[in-house]
Homo-oligomer: A and B are copies of this chain.
Amino acid sequence: METKKLVAQMLQGNNRALARLISLLENRESQIAIMKEVSPHTGKAYTLGITGPPGVGKSTLISRLVSHIRKQGLTVGVLCVDPTSPFSGGSLLGDRIRMDEISQDPGVFIRSLATRHNLGGLSPTAREAIKLLDAAGKDIIIVETVGVGQVQWDIKKVADSVLVVLIPGLGDNIQIMKAGIMEIADIFVLNMADREGADDMLNELKLSFRPLNSTWQPPVIPTVSIFNEGICDLYAAVVAHRTFMEEEGLLQQNRRERDLYYLVEMVKTALEDEVERLLVEKEEFRKIGEQVKNTTMDPYTGADKMVKMILSGS
């Protein structure tokens, strides 16, 4: 019942209720209760994913972009996903968010989310947090992730437009990340574009990219976020991409496909949780686990037995 009240307050624009609800997402049961309430109120916000390697100045860029968007009379929600080392559980970058000038603005809501088991991947509750910000009436939602390689794909599953931020002189990193980065970017941002090598990098980015099954050619926008340069051009590129997506009917189509994708993911996750629960609580499952551990049963036979028990509802 507390959930319903909080949702009502959040829908009225109460940022505290919103923050509380995001915390409640961590609990699976409240998550489902909250999301059933909230779902009908979603679909209005536009989500920007901003990603790139550590050290390219994403936080400063985002604070500049937020200020610019606020001047257009729009409200903004920002979700920062901190990478955690899979071992230590600690943050790799520490308190890297310095958004003092915008964090006092009631039209801006900022929240950090932890990741789980991922080097820069999305938080398991990130998608739900985005839906909450949407229902709470934020016009633009910015999701920041840090990632290399495969984990960058996560951002594609929640964002309407993906901005990939790079800087001159990244060198070999680009080689390694090319496969992933080139294909997820709707817009490239070349930050710190006053540095040596910026022109070469601009040309390299423009040349190396080949769009896949799309008539959208990702633009490369040079910025110097610390001096607030290029931010207007960057936002114009975002609006251009949004317009393109709407005119082609891709915005709705992509969102529906993402919903369907998440439907399947949620079913799988719920079943995984059920397996973990049964392994602890169900006597037969515990026994199979013991037998596999002391090698009196091979894991293939064990898995077979468990799956049959689950699917027969026994």
Contacts and interface: CB of A to CB of B under 8 A. Distances in A.
Nearest to A274: B311
A32 B302 CA distance: 11
Contacts of A120: 149
Contacts of A85: 179-180, 183
A132 to B, nearest CB: 13
A201 interface: no
Contacts of A312: 313
Contact of A299 (B148, B180, B259): B259
A151 B148 contact: no
A287 interface: no
A36 interface: yes
Contact of A32 (B40, B267, B304): B304
Given A85-B179, A264-B275, A289-B263, A32 B300 contact: yes
B299 A176 contact: no
A122 B2 CA distance: 45
Interface residues of A, number: 70
A121 B306 CA distance: 27
A87 B303 contact: no
Interface string A138-178: 00000000011111010000000000000000111101100
A50 interface: no
Interface in A259-314: 259-260, 262-264, 266-268, 270-272, 274-276, 279, 288-289, 292-295, 298-304, 306-307, 310-314
A267 B306 contact: yes
A1 interface: no
Given A120-B149, A171-B172, A179-B92, A279 B264 contact: yes
Interface of A: 32, 35-36, 39-40, 43, 53-54, 85-87, 92, 117-121, 147-151, 153, 170-173, 175-176, 179-180, 183, 212, 256-257, 259-260, 262-264, 266-268, 270-272, 274-276, 279, 288-289, 292-295, 298-304, 306-307, 310-314
* 6 tightest Cβ-Cβ pairs between the two chains A and B: A313-B313, A39-B298, A266-B303, A263-B299, A35-B300, A119-B149
28 contacts: A36-B301, A39-B299, A85-B179, A86-B153, A86-B179, A86-B180, A87-B212, A117-B150, A118-B150, A121-B150, A148-B148, A149-B149, A150-B150, A171-B171, A259-B292, A259-B299, A260-B293, A260-B299, A263-B288, A263-B292, A263-B302, A264-B279, A267-B275, A267-B307, A267-B310, A268-B275, A270-B307, A274-B307
